[in-house]
Amino acid sequence: MLVPIFAACSEDEPQGVKRLDGDALTANGEYVKWEGRYEAKGEGITLYHTATGFTVDFVGTALYVEFESTVAGGSESHYPYYNVAVDGEVIPTAAPERTFRLTGGKQRIAIVEGLAEGKHTVKCLKMSEPYDATTSVLSMETDGAFEKRDKEYDNGNFRFMVVCASGGSGYGSLAYTETDGACSRTSANSSSLHAFNYLTARMFGADVQFVAHSGWGVAYSPNKAISKVLDYSGITTSNDVSGAQTTAKWEHSAWVPDVILFNIGGNDTTKDGFDQTTYQREVVAMVQKLHTLYPNAYMVWTHTNSNAGKYAVSAMTDAGIMKEDYMQVVVIPKVGADGTEGAADHNSLLTHITTADIIADALAEKWGFTRIRENVKFEDYKEKLQIFG
């Protein structure tokens, strides 16, 4: 529903919209740019994957959003976190007031307030993973008026799609230790926005769409196979393929990536019943499927020189993928390579920053990509980290 506000001085002055809910949240992107995959469901817009969210423009001083969140097991360790950028800021933002947490149920959050009167742009992205919580946006409201989006500009922005598991979705990235296994993972110390895939896209000013989940593989285990959910809008808190397949089918033509980053496969080789031939066949099928959908997309397969990575590259070579020149392989640092770790034996932010630079350099060298901004600096985020050991 659109709720107009009327100018007091003259009937000739333009009307504005101060509240968005129901159909007006989508309205073909008239007022809201939805980030990543989403589903129009029930009262609002449902966001499953990490790095999903929205961007809006308004004239006023404040933005309020009503969310509904279903938290895995109702546990505080899974409360989902969001990061916000205002006007010229770029996510991830380090200021404490730019991060908020949702608990279960419905909540009205003051995303920003007390801004100088005028036009503002607010971007809000989910830091947490699908199994932490499913979140819906039920309404948005401002004390001024929303402005319509420039659809041509939105649709023309550079786009990175990310297919990954925990290594690329920020599992434990906001923890910091020099001692192996010093802390456990929670949603509070994890963020895809502070992990190498997002940080790489950020340097090129790209929009991002994740199809990702910690603990998942390409084909193993079968109930956590990322290749089986590429056609769906999200992964749910049930953390399995059957749950993901209850979400809406994703319209691939609605969001066409320029680059696809892969960091997937490490979980396959550790699962009971792993079969190398099956794994390699599914890697090739997944890559070829995405290449058919997005024939102009550049692809990057990242791995830590692991067996999973070597098996994948060998299979893609045998299938003729590597010689077609739309795929390149980038070897990235292993956990602990720089003497630091995040939570639960995963990369710290410091390693993620290094890794993002390696991938960005590879894109520049092979395909001539040009960064529009530098990478984040570890020192700017150090106070945000959970320090252990």
**For range 89-116, the mean pLDDT:** 97
Strand boundaries in 255-385, DSSP class E: 259-263, 298-303, 327-331
Is 214 a residue whose pLDDT tops 70? yes
Which residue, 280, 281, 165, is CA-closest to 216? 165
Predicted confidence band of residue 8 (pLDDT cuts 50, 70, 90)? very low
Place of tokens 């740019």: 33
Q: How far from chain centre, in Å, is Cα 6?
A: 38
- Answer yes or no: are the C-beta atoms of 131 and 235 closer than 8 Å: yes
> Residue 328's pLDDT is what?
98
Average pLDDT over residues 304-327: 97
**Percent of the chain predicted with pLDDT > 70:** 96
pLDDT attached to residue 13:
36
- Please say if the pLDDT value at position 330 is more than 70: yes
Task: Tell me the mean pLDDT in the region 219-240.
Answer: 98
User: Taking 70 as the threshold, does the pLDDT of residue 44 lie above it?
Assistant: yes
pLDDT class of 383 with cuts at 50, 70, 90: confident
Taking the model in full, what pTM does it have?
0.94
In the block, which residue shows the tokens 């089986």? 228
Confidence of residue 15 (pLDDT cuts 50, 70, 90): low
Q: pLDDT tens for residues 359-369?
A: 999 999 999 99
Q: What's the farthest any 2 CA atoms get from each other in the chain?
A: 73
Both tokens of 378, joined, read: 């570890």
pLDDT digits (tens, 9 = 90+) for 132-185: 999 999 999 999 999 999 999 999 999 999 999 999 999 999 999 887 767 899
